[in-house]
Amino acid sequence: MNEFAPIGGLDVAAIRAQFPILKETVHGKPLVFLDTAASAQRPSSVINAEVELYEKYYANIHRGVYKFSQDATTAYEKTRESVRAFIGAKHKRECIFVRGATEGINLVAQTWGRANLKEGDEILLTYLEHHSNIVPWQLVAEEKGATVKAVPVLEDGSLDMDAYRSMLNERTKMVAFTHVSNSIGTQTDAKEIIRLAHDAGALTLIDGCQAAPHLKIDVQDLDADFYAFSAHKMYGPTGIGVIYGKEALLDAMPPWQGGGDMISTVTFEKTTFNDLPHKFEAGTPNIAGGIGFDHAIEFMNEIGVERIAAHEADLLKYATEQLSAMNSVRLIGTAPKKGALISFVMEHAHPHDIGTILDQQGIAVRAGHHCAQPIMDNFSIPGTVRASFGVYNDRSDVDALVVGLKKVMDIFG
């Protein structure tokens, strides 16, 4: 690693040392991991927390009176309080554990949507959305006779706020949008989008998957109705995520799945349901993932989310400068406010070919439509190459990417 100390003064070498996988080589080359937007790597503290549970005190939670069950329950529920504090929620019961943001969005679409949408209502999305924030709304809209509409983007990938204002009307019941685009990095003005939606009488759901690892989140300041994110993009385990919802909204929503832990009493005549958050958490959860998630949040808090954001903003600026100087590279998505990723295409080379050549150099990037086909169609391209940054990256990783892209240019001309 180089001696460069970016904005925020992070000791990147010390941070990298906490990630065992970053010591690996790929095709005999040092690993340059630039796919954090898909799934971040895990520090030893997260890995060790899961191992310790299985080796020392594993038991099912919330039900047992014996020590292991009590200890596991305490550790698991500690994470809920950490999540509450991390996103600025008023109550920890507003933080529902799910398998990930995808399940959280489906939960809202299938519970709130089925209970509240009717024929003629409109659900407003944007062209920036991941498929996980499109398909669930299409499913419930088809069932209820509602209509899904999408706010367009400007040439640089910014959301067209004038179009958004004009599309809001009395039929708009839900505005579901991304905080930071996973495909081209655009950061939306979430607070203003929410304010305008509320003025129109609509609720809001934010896909925060690409924001939670990189930005300071305060759901109360945003006045968000629902906010979804996943642990695995925050240096945490897979299979665990959060759907935040305002307490009054969650209380009014029917359960989504039935089973253990989400009930109060069960008879063959009638079942009554548990209080929040357990009403939406049927069955045995991802106990190890939940406990590991707490250590991921602790890892981020110890560094400081603001310092992480400053470090990644510097990396993005440097990468943008370097790639913009390459004649064969065209950046896709150049909005003034962006998340920690850069998306691009190259003349005469398909994104998959670029990704394969970079892999041979030990460089891991994502190539394709990034589960965001509408925005690719908007730019009339089949896909892009996406390099995304995490707290463990520095300028030497960008330099390696540039060297790798020059090899692509040598091959394809």
Q: Which of 129, 31, 152, 30 is nearest to 371 (CA)?
A: 129
Q: Residue 215 has which token pair?
A: 């930005």
Considering the chain, what is the average pLDDT of its residues? 95
What mean pLDDT do residues 91-113 have?
Answer: 98
Distance CA 121, CA 102 (A): 23
The DSSP bridge partners found for residue 148 are 123
What tens digit of pLDDT does each residue of 255-281 get? 999 988 888 888 899 998 889 999 999
What positions carry a catalytic annotation? 371
What was the pLDDT predicted at 356? 97
Burial class (CB in 10 A: 0-12, 13-18, 19+), 52: middle
Q: Which of 92, 193, 184 is nearest to 369 (CA)?
A: 184
Task: At 101, give phi and psi (nearest 5°).
Answer: -60, -35
What was the pLDDT predicted at 3? 41
What mean pLDDT do residues 393-411 have?
Answer: 96
**CB-based contact 264:273 (threshold 8 Å):** yes
Q: Residue 188 has which token pair?
A: 């939306």
Distance CA 375, CA 329 (A): 19
Angle at 42 between CA 39 and CA 46, to 5 degrees: 130
Domains with residue ranges and CATH for the chain = 12-35+304-412 (3.90.1150.10), 48-301 (3.40.640.10)
Asked whether the predicted pLDDT for residue 286 surpasses 70, the reply is yes
What tens digit of pLDDT does each residue of 32-62 get? 999 999 999 999 999 999 999 999 999 999 9
Asked whether the predicted pLDDT for residue 4 surpasses 60, the reply is no
Distance CA 239, CA 217 (A): 21
pTM (whole model) above 0.85: yes
Q: H or E segment at 170?
A: none
Q: Which of 50-54, 173-177, 264-268, 284-288 has the lowest mean pLDDT?
A: 264-268
